[in-house]
Amino acid sequence: MTSTDTPPRRSIVIIGAGIIGCSTAYYLSRHPSFSPSTTVRVIEASINGPAQGASGKAGGLVAQWAYPKELVDVSFAEHVKLAKKHNGKERWGWRYVETGSWEGRALLGEGSGSGVGKGGKRKSLEKTLGLNPDISEWDRKSKGLPDDLLWVRDSLTDSYSPMAATGETAQVHPYQFTTSMLDLAKEKGVEFVSGKVTSIKQLDGQVTGVVYTKLGTQEQVEIHASDIILCAGAWSPSLVPGLPITGTRAHSITIRATPGTIITPYALFTEITLQQAGKNVKRVTPELYARPDNEVYACGPGDDSALPETVDDVQVDEAACESIRKHVSFISKELSEGTVDKRQACFLPIVKYNSDPLVGAATKIANGLFIAAGHTCWGICNAPGTAKAISQLVMDGKIRCGNLKKLDPSRFS
């Protein structure tokens, strides 16, 4: 074990450089009481740096209709402010998107997997011959398809319905947002440390520091900490055993549509009924998020794969990625002709008992220990609110940005 450093006045350690840890580093570095005598270190276990887990592989939807409401109310407004202050449009792809629920069918084994339904062929023939030119327009309208949503096959659409009003849903590129938060925090003096934290030290009910293994070595290092913020996502219980957090693996892909194709900004929650020989054989529900530069992110269902030792050990099941690609290609010609750039998997951190994330002080375990973990499917949306609240709790002793009592970790024994 090497050096325990001389304790400075305030030494804050953040465990985990996902979106929660990196955003917390940012908000601490912008807190009015932050000064050069405050040390903030973000320790990350991935050899590849920050945002290698769910925070780099999520969809990136930021919605006023997300949950829990108390956290969303703070977070959405903070996302807007951050984007304005740091040019989020260029830096992390911040923009507003339309969101809708899309239902339709795909015909397996017909049209060589293209999923083109009979109606589609009829309509295109009518169009070619100049007959009934308005039928397709009428058909689209009756299904609720917006005029500018042209990258899903209208012939396979049963219905489309908007899920929120314009302006209520936005998006970020999660990897770019997370790494930007860290870079902006580093500009103010926050340090990034490559290491896997192996234990949290405490004495007489007060945290005193952490021990971590330097990546690529066996070397154990102990550093002093007056405050420790646990932001290790699904891995959080490995450092605080008994925390009611688990992880579910989910796969996703990104597809780049061919140049010249116009992919308008929609997030689609789909329900596709796969049909074969006139029978419904399966229902699949990939989510599709259009991103700037003609990229579309698509994710599939979770599975019960066990949480591996670190984020770098997460296995990607190629078959799971391929099935997302196939399902998405059925319903979109533009995506079927595009190039798959990424095939990936990550672990969604979930609080057991269908509960809200844990955001607050873990006084039942030790003074100076804070937990910000278990953000389920809204961690990208809720990172700024979580980070702002935790930075206030650490620096001022209380959360001032909203009433987040229901997220207090001490609700669990």
What is the number of other CB atoms lying within 10 angstroms of the CB of residue 222?
Answer: 18
| Of positions 13, 58, 395, 407, contacts ligand FAD by CB under 6 A | 58
Write the binding mask 298 to 337 for ligand FAD: x where contact by CB under 6 A, - elsewhere. Answer: -x----------xx--------------------------
* 381 is a site residue for ligand FAD (CB under 6 A): yes
Nearer to ligand FAD among residue 94 and residue 235 (C-beta): 235
| Of positions 71, 182, 197, 351, contacts ligand FAD by CB under 6 A | 197
Task: Tell me: cis bond preceding 68? Omega within 30 of 0 counts.
Answer: yes
What is the number of other CB atoms lying within 10 angstroms of the CB of residue 64?
Answer: 17
* 14 is a site residue for ligand FAD (CB under 6 A): no
| Of positions 82, 225, 250, 320, contacts ligand FAD by CB under 6 A | 250
Element (H, E) at 394: helix 379-396
42 HSE (CA, 13 A, CB side): 33
| Of positions 82, 116, 184, 231, contacts ligand FAD by CB under 6 A | 231
Please list every residue from 15 through 34 that binds ligand FAD, using CB under 6 A: 15-21
* 54 is a site residue for ligand FAD (CB under 6 A): yes
* 209 is a site residue for ligand FAD (CB under 6 A): no
* 349 is a site residue for ligand FAD (CB under 6 A): yes
Question: Least Å distance between CB 127 and ligand FAD?
Answer: 36
User: Looking up tokens 């590129």, which residue turns up?
Assistant: 173
* 235 is a site residue for ligand FAD (CB under 6 A): yes
| Of positions 34, 41, 44, 369, contacts ligand FAD by CB under 6 A | 44
Instruction: Output the DSSP codes for 135-200.
Output: HHHHHHHHHT--TT--SS-GGGEEEEEESS-TTSEEE--HHHHHHHHHHHHHHTT-EEEEEEEEEE
User: Looking up tokens 């959080």, which residue turns up?
Assistant: 236
From CA 149, how far away is CA 160, in angstroms rounded?
10
Strand order, beta sheet including 191-203: 220-224, 206-214, 191-203, 38-44, 10-15, 227-230, 369-373, 358-361
Contact residues for ligand FAD (CB under 6 A)? 15-21, 43-46, 52-55, 58-61, 196-197, 231-235, 239, 250, 252, 299, 310-311, 346, 348-349, 373, 375-381
